[in-house]
A and B are shown apart, each in its own frame.
Chain A
Amino acid sequence: MDSALTIILICSLVAVSGALLGPFLLLRRMSLMTDAISHSILFGIVIGFLLFNTLDSLPMILAASAIGILTVVLTEMLFKTGLVREDAAIGMVFPALFSIGVIIISRFLSNVHIDIDTALVGEVIWAPFDTIPFLGGEVARGLVITGAIALVNLAFVGVFYKELKLVTFDSALASSLGFWSGGLTFALMTLVSVTAVGAFDAVGAVLLVGFMIVPAAAAYLLTERLSVMIGLSLVIGVLGCVIGYYAALAIDTSISGMMVTVLGVIFALVLIFAPQRGLLAGMLRRRRQQWEFAARLLVIHVLNHEGQPNEGDELALATVNQHLNWSPAYAEQIVQRARQRGWLDVASGRLLALTPDGRQIARETLA
């Protein structure tokens, strides 16, 4: 298989795994826990290697994943002492496990192919050349592993979608209805760990969280349905991999690093331009509301002063801004808006006058 395609596929499968689990992790506020797991996994991989002397047999992957679970359990225990806050508890546990992993690698495993650099950000460039026999052909080992893990995650989310949604939204209700929410959480954490082990070669300990959380965070801003959020996470994750690969090639840099950078850029664009929840949409909405309010204020002002002896000054197009303490330009803009909406006319003598619509709006607003 073409090596560019192999690399893109491996990373995309990591992204697919991440996008399937990420939305649940994000919505359960477990993003940081994901990061903790993917770091601790280094220790797991070292233990797995010492036990089984290989880096990718099934027992090795499971043993390494157990350290991910241990991270969750230890953090939970530390938090439950009541002496340490949850974020601090996470911050104690994973650096401890990660650093033990680093020590063992640099002291005892310096002749094996895991080194500290690879452990941090992975190295996917050699993946196409590390092949194993598969279904009668030669397939990249990484492709088989990440593919299998993506399938397991897909099956898990597909089968237990309803339960995952319930436990994420309202875990008390889930328990009271008889669903085993502890078990679901355990399964979710196990799959995060397995995914972290499987993705380790490709993206390392630090960048996995980028594949899990960033696409989900972007998707969250784009939809109001969980199923669509998962779908969009998948699309964004794979898109980041494809664009990231060619961008990395173009400027000759770390592939996984570039992919996560691209995902970050996609997130930033979504953050700014998301149609409903984006920063820009929010700004425009606030400004529209401000204008709407100002236009209402203006018609109320006209209603209060029309027919009064001082209306020639209060309601004159040229001087109305002084009475409302608006800049002339702003006043002109608001008058324009109120006229567009059919609330105001400029009558003889350059005075503002209410239309029947405007009169009604002013009265409604005051009522």
Chain B
Amino acid sequence: MTASVDTTAAISVNDLTLAYREKPVLWDIDLAVPRGSLMAVVGPNGAGKSTLIKAILGLLKPASGTIRVYGKPYQEQRRLVAYVPQRGTVDWDFPTDALDVVLMGSYGRLGWVRRPTKSDRDAAMECLGKVGMASFADRQISQLSGGQQQRVFLARALLQNADIYLMDEPFVGVDATTEHAILTLMRELQSQGKTLVVVHHDLETVSEYFDSVAILNVQLIAAGPMNTTFTADNLRQAYGPRVASKIAFLKP
């Protein structure tokens, strides 16, 4: 329980167990995400990576355990956290344009009933610019490529102007330009002292893109700085013995 009094942790997860019906998806997770870290969450399919993110956001109810954001429950710290969901979770045929989706990032601050103003719109436009999408502001969202859609989501999170960014597989199915744009942005955010927790699927780029990692397979296998945590042993524990081909790039 030391993590819960650790004031340097942006997010601390203690004894978190979460189950769909009776099947545990996360078993007794203890994880502290230090302030200012750029952390990857990796693990095989069904490891509970997205579930962990959703639990932090209060979208799923844990069977046990606590989650704290800067020492307080998420519900009291909403304004400090921005969420970039998986691209596939929304209907991109929804009748709206890119700017409008970005503008949704202002809704949390506005609260109920109040509408975005001209200055919110300007701020949203600026965020679109930061992800290189300014010229697509009035493009219908179904006409954007996968990578462009992902950047719209990123711009939306930027508009929230949060301290902590939770991203669920932002690199899946994006083009090289987008991958580069996301990476640059993540590093820029980190240099501003923000904390980023990113579900990531590509083991080969983990150590290049991130400075720390949490390895998950229902239980937390290991978490910490990249060089001491991202080891062949830990990965084998998470992915099973047949992962050898996936981690051939790692020195034993």
Contacts and interface: CB of A to CB of B under 8 A. Distances in A.
A325 interface: no
Interface stretch (A223-231, A260-268, A298-306, A338-346): A223-231
Interface in B98-131: 101, 104, 107-108, 110-113, 115-116
B95 interface: yes
A173 B85 contact: yes
Contacts of A162: 107, 110, 113, 115-116
Given A160-B113, A225-B95, A170 B107 contact: no
A175 B59 contact: yes
B97 A225 contact: yes
Contacts of B97: 224-225
Contacts of A175: 57-59
B208 interface: no
B190 interface: no
Given A162-B107, A178-B75, A178-B108, A172 B59 contact: yes
Given A176-B59, A223-B95, A169 B85 contact: no
Interface in A156-201: 159-160, 162-163, 165-166, 168-170, 172-179
Interface residues of A, number: 26
Nearest to A80: B21
A27 B94 CA distance: 7
Contacts of A169: 90-91, 94, 96, 101, 104
Interface in B50-68: 54, 57-59
**A interface SS class:** helix
B83 interface: yes
A176 B113 contact: no
Contacts of A98: none
Contacts of A178: 75, 78, 108, 111
Contact of B96 (A159, A172, A173, A225): A225
B85 A170 contact: yes
B112 A226 contact: no
Given A27-B95, A178-B108, 8 more contacts: A27-B94, A82-B21, A162-B116, A165-B104, A173-B85, A175-B57, A176-B83, A226-B96
